[in-house]
Amino acid sequence: MTQHLTVADFANLFGIKPEEMPKACLDMIAKGNWAYAPYPQVERDHIILDFLRRIRDRQFSFVTEGDKDRWIKGWGENLEGFKKSGDLDALTPKYIRPNMPVRLFGDFVKTEDPFFEKHWYAIFREWLLLTYVKGFDHIFEFGCGSGFNVARMAELYPKATVHGLDWAEPSVEIVENLRATKGLNVHGHQFDFFNPDYSLEVPPNSVVVTIGALEQTGDKNAAFMEFLMKKRPALIVHVEPTYDWYDPNSLVDHLAITAHELRNFWRGWHERLNGLQKQGKVEILKTKRAYFGSLVLEGFSQTIWRPL
């Protein structure tokens, strides 16, 4: 049976009340095709069996400290596409593919819009930036990848200085090209989560954002947390797949848990963060499981906090 995401559904997924949805997001929702349906049993079984085969054959990429070759290659492709076309759409990461199963409310669903996830994310990002990034003089996106979030931040807040940081050189070059060709107030910096550069200045009234970046740090993320505690930005916003919040009694969640473990994705952060809050060193302002994501995982869970 076909269903449609409503404004109330979007609000539920974001963790807000429907009346809190910005008008810009309401307009985007009104223009989209949000039809979806559960998979028939045979198709759902095929998706799960294929997932299990990929796990068995260890076909998923995994995180290795210091190995940035695939990021140089991936962001390099976005860089070349952007240089050739000058189109910001060329910055869309290549891993966002059409006609893929979507995770929604704890199950896999089939969507009418082949780019359902991409279009959902555009609304989520607009809401996130309008809600949490407004009013800061400096915006830092760590692990900025293809630069497509940096570009949107700079468009929304032209008076702010937007810093795009990544350990892959093509990513930094993309940000510098955004300034040179689009006139955006952005600056690229090379930065390694595993070996933070303490010479980087984080001025007062700065916000730090990570979107699908810390997932790559596995359980070796203490160095970046220490960096944030030392630099003390006014606000820190994480949008990341969060291992701790999956339900091990759910088959669909179990697949994500197994993929997280196989790929050595982000773990241990919330245990450290909760410990710091108990010590009175940080304030956790919001945690929200996404209940939306791609075939492999839920990539849009929110953790918002600040050092005290």
% of the chain exceeding 90 in pLDDT: 85
* Reported pTM: 0.95
Per-residue pLDDT, 94: 83
Q: What is the pLDDT of residues 84-109, one digit of tens each?
A: 999 999 999 888 889 999 999 999 99
Per-residue pLDDT, 57: 86
Per-residue pLDDT, 117: 96
User: How many CB atoms neighbour CB 195 within 10 A?
Assistant: 13
Look at residue 85 and tell me if it is in a domain. Answer: no
Q: Lowest-pLDDT range, 27-36, 131-140, 252-261?
A: 252-261
Whether the Cβ atoms of residue 111 and residue 35 lie closer than 8 Å to each other: yes
Per-residue pLDDT, 64: 60
Look at residue 230 and tell me if it is in a domain. Answer: yes
Look at residue 23 and tell me if it is in a domain. Answer: no
Per-residue pLDDT, 59: 76
Q: How many distinct structural domains can be found in the chain?
A: 1
Question: Could you give the 3-state DSSP secondary structure of residue 240?
Answer: strand
Look at residue 272 and tell me if it is in a domain. Answer: yes
User: How many CB atoms neighbour CB 95 within 10 A?
Assistant: 12
Q: What is the domain extent for residue 56?
A: 51-61+92-100+192-307
Confidence band for 229, pLDDT divided at 50, 70 and 90: very high
Q: What is the pLDDT of residues 253-274, one digit of tens each?
A: 999 999 989 888 889 999 999 9
Look at residue 4 and tell me if it is in a domain. Answer: no
Q: Residue 1 pLDDT more than 80?
A: yes
Per-residue pLDDT, 58: 79
Strand order across the beta sheet in which 206-211 lies: 186-190, 161-166, 138-142, 206-211, 235-240, 301-307, 282-288
CA–chain centroid gap for 234, Å, is: 20
Look at residue 303 and tell me if it is in a domain. Answer: yes
Which single residue is written with the structure tokens 């807040």?
Answer: 157
